[in-house]
Structure 1
Amino acid sequence: MEEEFDFGFTEDPKFSVERYEEMIRNHDQYFFDAQAFENIIDYYIEKNDPAKALQVSEYARNQHPFAAVFLIKQAQLLVVTNRAGEAFAALDKAAMLEASDADIYIIRGNLYESMERNTEALENYEKALDLAEETDEILLHIAYVYQNMGDYETAITYLKLCLKQNMENQDALYELAFCYDVLDNQEESVQFYQQYIDNEPYSYAAWYNLGNAYTKLSLFEKAIDAYDYAILIKDSFASAYFNKGNALVNLEKYAEAIEVYRQTFEYEQPNADTYCAIGECYEKLEQMDEARSFYKKSVKMDPKLADAWFGIGVTLDFEERYFEALHFYKKALDLDIANADYWFAIADAEYKLGHLKEAEDAYEKVVELNPLDVDAWLDYSSIMYEQKRLVNAIEVISQAIKNNPDAAELYYRMVAYLFARGEYNEALNYLEMALASDPEKHYILFDYLPQLQENKVIIDIINRYCK
């Protein structure tokens, strides 16, 4: 017969763990009180050893068959080890022993939430709300479920309730920002965070989210002020430095942005995105060697970062090294095949290399992906005009106007093409439309066909609108 010892008297968790491990080694049977077993289970959970924690919960259940706590612990561990069916069974048994324990409904809610069985998840969380003393995490989970259901308005209601319970719940603050983002309701977001900050002026997360909301409203100066407060409260807040850098870029303060981006390296490991952002600033400052160096660091860290490959191409393009630039543009395109900007750069480089067919194909792709890109339509038609393919050029501009009926440049270009083709009456019709749209841009016509400055009819029509 195995010896039984009662080690329930101790409150020292370390002692309980040592005695438990001794029991296992010796194949003995010691008795532990419920608190000691809880301590042992928690020790293994902290050690990230769910298998051992489960083994302890089994011993605990044998010794304390009417304690619901061990069934609840067991259910939590079964969830972690992806054994949902067994977890549900353990929770059902726990509910028979102690139906008023909120944890039963929280864990069951988590399980249903992970299975996207949203109605059942909500039912369990609502039950938990009635039973639990602290409810902010439950309210947060209810908000998650509504987000999964696409009901962001209701999610916001629960996130605000969560923050009312616990002003310091960082997850709720970030989720709230996310919901306002999805609803594209930055004004309300700003209003909420301003009120929140009135009550909680030292919340770096609230200042940070306020900065993000201002950024989305293109109020970059205000955004920078908000990020500065976030940094003042938490000077190691790398994301606030990064977003402040982005706001400075939007204000075209590239040198300042570089300094701010570099500050992130004091608080977190350099990453590909930050290197790429610094590269872009140097590119805007036309310091192409520096830009290329940072873009290269970026792709070395993350070879799948298309923007960095593209950036290398831009620096080479600037130096008129079009053939090399094309190579890097195409690497970027391989990673992001539907990026209209990449296609545009490729079209331009192919054109500069004299590859008109390839340039034309690339422009066709640009306008297919982004039919609102007026410059692309103009360049696309230009290639045809240069090859005396006037019918094609007119067709392209006609398509462009259908997609961009308010772009005066397209009408002026159409006038030039129609004149070149000898379709004078039609050209004059388009000239009237162009001038009605934007008379100031009539110089576009003369840039393209300078000889029209000698045409009295055209000058008379222009003077009528410009006066």
Structure 2
Amino acid sequence: MNNQNFNEEHFEEGNEDIRYYEKLFENNPKSLIDFSACESLISHYIQNGKLEKALDITNHAVKLYPATSELLIKKAQILMDLSRNVEAMSILDVAQKLDPSNEEIFCLRASNCVEKGKHQEAIFWLDKALELSEYPEEIYYQKGEVYQNIEDYEKAVFFYEKCLEKDPEHEDAIYDLAFCYDVIGHGEKSARLYEKFIDYQPYSHIAWYNLGIVYSKLHRFQDALDATEYAVLIKKDFSSAYFNMGNTYIEMGDYEKALPLFFSTMEYEGPSPETLCCIGECNFKIKKWENAKRFFTNALEMNNKMSEAWFGLALSYDAVKNFKEAKHALKKALALEEKNPDYWLTLAELEFKTGHLLRTIHLYQEAATLFPNYKYIWLDWSGVVYELGFCEEAAQILKVAVAQLPSDADVNYRLAIYLLSQNKIKRALRFLRKAFELNPTLPKSFKKDFIKITNHKEIVKFMEKY
């Protein structure tokens, strides 16, 4: 067979020609002299991951055609893929002298810089490549990748968009731009791009999965479920997709439907503390307290540093009025995550339930110091004091809260109630007006609260407006 007329299509896997040329090179390398045959054989080996063989053929071809920049660039690329970057850069130096206007040389230098963590230098080389390129879309894409690597998502978006202006069907740019839009909070744009990518790649389970995540963030929960179900149809053992569907059902408040999805997650990836904790949460929400305790405990057996599992266990013990174990578990959670205000609140509630009033007040005071902008601390603390019959003290607590959170309708509203209970009508009316200005849609049931406290004509007249 005459190798002079050989072209790349002869190199398909299983083709007799590929075996012929492999043997030809092994037995007598000097007989393989056609440039296109060498180039095609190199491409075949690269595509099949046989980089050492590709390098052998490249070295042979470079000896035959030493002044050919394309072969030197190919050799540099193979060396980089083999993590022999120093050699690759030396080869590129030679190639650049032969062909100083070849943009691919600068793109490879940029890739080398990225691998070494020299991202600004990578941008420098890509800018050099842009000066030379007639078709810059791929270089724009590479610049986007560099900025994405250093988490400069705004600049990454700019260059992915530039790439798509030149090539609207660039699938990698569509996919990565969708990801960046999601990160910077442009959910609708992200969803549209994933949808566009799926038009090109309808069987990409990852794209469907990511689209589901974006829909979920947009509170388009049914769309999220539909997208993630497609991911599972394409890849049945896609455990992360089952996990995300379970979380979506949790967001929707449908814990019964969430449960089997978490079990499917474990079927394909085995148990994990996170999955066991989610199963515990679902059981807690449907009031299966013993099951909840069991799964939270199982999660802690795998990772006893998981604060949310300790918290879930505490709530489960609290639900069955085992306050001693609840407090023990909650203190474990708090020791692991001291900066979680909900843990402080729940511990204060448990101390109150068990009659430890001084501990309760101390916990609320400490929590209010740590988290002064968390309104539920002030509301719960004042609520406990009010329930004990100390109306004036409850109002004093919320006056501090209003100074801290002047634009919170709930705090203003609750302070109005406490002032009314002391028959301080004018002051109560001031905070009541403020509450309704901040939130005109406050629940109608609040009107009943006021009627229970007072039938003062000014209050009744004001409430009739709502």
Q: TM-score, normalised by structure 1?
A: 0.72
- 2:449 maps to a residue whose letter is I
Q: Residue 19 of structure 1 aligns with which residue?
A: none
- 1:376 maps to a residue whose letter is I
Q: Residue 448 of structure 2 aligns with which residue?
A: 443
Following TM superposition, by how much is the alpha carbon of 1:128 offset from its aligned partner in structure 2, in angstroms?
A: 5.6
Does 326-335 or 240-249 show the bigger shift?
326-335
Q: Residue 258 of structure 1 contacts residue 281 of structure 1 at CA under 8 Å; is this kept in 2?
A: yes
Residue-by-residue CA offset, 1:409-454 (whole Å, 9 max, x unaligned): 43443244335656554345445555775483133356xxx6x35x
Residue-by-residue CA offset, 1:74-97 (whole Å, 9 max, x unaligned): 86279x48x87x875564355346
Aligned equivalents of 2:458 and 2:368: distance in 1? 32
Residue-by-residue CA offset, 1:285-326 (whole Å, 9 max, x unaligned): 111222222222323333443222221122112122223222
Q: Residue 72 of structure 1 aligns with which residue?
A: 76
Q: Residue 418 of structure 2 aligns with which residue?
A: 417
Q: Residue 310 of structure 1 contacts residue 342 of structure 1 at CA under 8 Å; is this kept in 2?
A: yes
Q: Residue 244 of structure 1 aligns with which residue?
A: 245
Aligned equivalents of 2:143 and 2:456: distance in 1? 69
Q: Residue 72 of structure 1 contacts residue 104 of structure 1 at CA under 8 Å; is this kept in 2?
A: no
Change over 3 Å in CA distance of 1:243–1:431 after alignment to 2: closer
Change over 3 Å in CA distance of 1:60–1:304 after alignment to 2: farther
- 1:232 maps to a residue whose letter is L
Does 139-148 or 383-392 show the bigger shift?
383-392
Change over 3 Å in CA distance of 1:344–1:333 after alignment to 2: same
Q: Residue 415 of structure 2 contacts residue 431 of structure 2 at CA under 8 Å; is this kept in 1?
A: yes
Q: Secondary structure at the match of 2:269?
A: coil
- Unaligned runs of 5+ residues in structure 1 are 1-8, 17-31
Do residues 301 (structure 1) and 299 (structure 2) align?
no
Aligned equivalents of 2:274 and 2:216: distance in 1? 18
Q: Residue 212 of structure 1 aligns with which residue?
A: 213
Aligned equivalents of 2:258 and 2:124: distance in 1? 49
Aligned equivalents of 1:300 and 1:242: distance in 2? 20
Q: 1:151 aligns with which of 155, 158, 162?
A: 155
- 1:329 maps to a residue whose letter is L
Q: Secondary structure at the match of 1:267?
A: helix
Following TM superposition, by how much is the alpha carbon of 1:143 offset from its aligned partner in structure 2, in angstroms?
A: 1.4
Q: Residue 394 of structure 2 aligns with which residue?
A: 393
Change over 3 Å in CA distance of 1:321–1:269 after alignment to 2: same
Q: Residue 109 of structure 1 aligns with which residue?
A: 110
Aligned equivalents of 2:208 and 2:167: distance in 1? 15
Q: Residue 341 of structure 1 contacts residue 366 of structure 1 at CA under 8 Å; is this kept in 2?
A: no
Aligned equivalents of 2:335 and 2:21: distance in 1? 62
Change over 3 Å in CA distance of 1:306–1:130 after alignment to 2: farther
Following TM superposition, by how much is the alpha carbon of 1:152 offset from its aligned partner in structure 2, in angstroms?
A: 4.1
Q: Secondary structure at the match of 1:255?
A: helix
Q: 1:464 aligns with which of 457, 461, 464?
A: 461
Q: TM-score, normalised by structure 2?
A: 0.72
Q: Residue 138 of structure 2 contacts residue 163 of structure 2 at CA under 8 Å; is this kept in 1?
A: no
Residue-by-residue CA offset, 1:140-178 (whole Å, 9 max, x unaligned): 5321223334524314416747985653x4xx5653333
Aligned equivalents of 1:326 and 1:90: distance in 2? 67
Residue-by-residue CA offset, 1:200-252 (whole Å, 9 max, x unaligned): 43333332222222111101011111112222222232222221211111221
Aligned equivalents of 2:200 and 2:78: distance in 1? 40
Q: Residue 192 of structure 2 aligns with which residue?
A: 191
Following TM superposition, by how much is the alpha carbon of 1:378 offset from its aligned partner in structure 2, in angstroms?
A: 1.4
Q: Residue 310 of structure 2 contacts residue 329 of structure 2 at CA under 8 Å; is this kept in 1?
A: yes
Following TM superposition, by how much is the alpha carbon of 1:395 offset from its aligned partner in structure 2, in angstroms?
A: 3.2
Aligned equivalents of 1:90 and 1:337: distance in 2? 56
- 2:447 maps to a residue whose letter is H
Residues 23-422 of structure 1: matches in 2 within 5 Å?
68=72, 72=76, 76=80, 80=83, 91-93=92-94, 95-96=96-97, 104-114=105-115, 117-125=118-126, 140-147=141-148, 148=150, 149=152, 150-157=154-161, 160=164, 167=171, 169=172, 175-364=176-365, 366-367=367-368, 373-385=374-386, 392-405=393-406, 407-418=408-419
Change over 3 Å in CA distance of 1:328–1:88 after alignment to 2: farther
Following TM superposition, by how much is the alpha carbon of 1:135 offset from its aligned partner in structure 2, in angstroms?
A: 9.2
Following TM superposition, by how much is the alpha carbon of 1:397 offset from its aligned partner in structure 2, in angstroms?
A: 0.8
- 1:461 maps to a residue whose letter is E
Following TM superposition, by how much is the alpha carbon of 1:357 offset from its aligned partner in structure 2, in angstroms?
A: 3.9
Aligned equivalents of 1:320 and 1:103: distance in 2? 70
- Unaligned runs of 5+ residues in structure 2 are 1-18, 27-31
Change over 3 Å in CA distance of 1:393–1:166 after alignment to 2: same
Residue-by-residue CA offset, 1:312-357 (whole Å, 9 max, x unaligned): 1221121222232223223333333322222222222232233334
- 1:268 maps to a residue whose letter is E
- 1:375 maps to a residue whose letter is Y
Q: Secondary structure at the match of 1:262?
A: helix
Q: Residue 72 of structure 1 contacts residue 103 of structure 1 at CA under 8 Å; is this kept in 2?
A: no
Change over 3 Å in CA distance of 1:152–1:143 after alignment to 2: closer
Q: Residue 141 of structure 2 contacts residue 160 of structure 2 at CA under 8 Å; is this kept in 1?
A: no
Q: Secondary structure at the match of 2:270?
A: coil
Aligned equivalents of 2:131 and 2:72: distance in 1? 19
- 1:113 maps to a residue whose letter is V
Change over 3 Å in CA distance of 1:256–1:92 after alignment to 2: same
Does 99-108 or 246-255 show the bigger shift?
99-108
User: How high is the sequence identity, in percent, across the aligned residues?
Assistant: 32
Question: Number of aligned pairs?
Answer: 430
Q: Secondary structure at the match of 1:151?
A: helix
